[in-house]
Amino acid sequence: MIRCSSNGRGISRPIRIIVRERLVAGDSNAEDIQFLVDRYGEYVLLNPVLAPHTLLFWAVGPLILLVGGVVVLARTRRRSAPGAAPSSTAEERVALAALESTPLVLELGLPLRSK
């Protein structure tokens, strides 16, 4: 199949004209496709072929997905590691207790303890 959009922009219009002229001249579909690939490259194919020179094209998508998954997994494991948060000092516990006993905190019932 040839990549050719219906809006007639870019390379689509010249390709449609060439295909029409070649079909009227009696060329087969296979000959038309080969002519366009020779002239414009494999870009014109809707489904590019899997060949040694296109392996990078086919491998980039899955590789990016795999790397992204590893990064997300590593970050979530790092965040949920036990003991990662520093423990509070005695001064911080006293300050938190004083803050929790203030009238506004008691009235609103705000949770200030972080465990």
Taking the C-alpha atoms of residue 48 and residue 72, their distance in angstroms, rounded to an integer, is 31
Q: Are 88 and 115 in contact (CB under 8 A)?
A: no
Query: In residues, how long is the chain?
Result: 115
pLDDT tens-digit profile of 69-109? 999 999 888 776 665 456 678 888 888 787 777 766 556 66
Taking the C-alpha atoms of residue 86 and residue 103, their distance in angstroms, rounded to an integer, is 29
pLDDT at 19: 86
Radius of gyration of the chain (CA): 32
Q: What's the predicted TM-score (pTM) here?
A: 0.42
The helix (H) or strand (E) run that includes residue 33 is helix 29-40
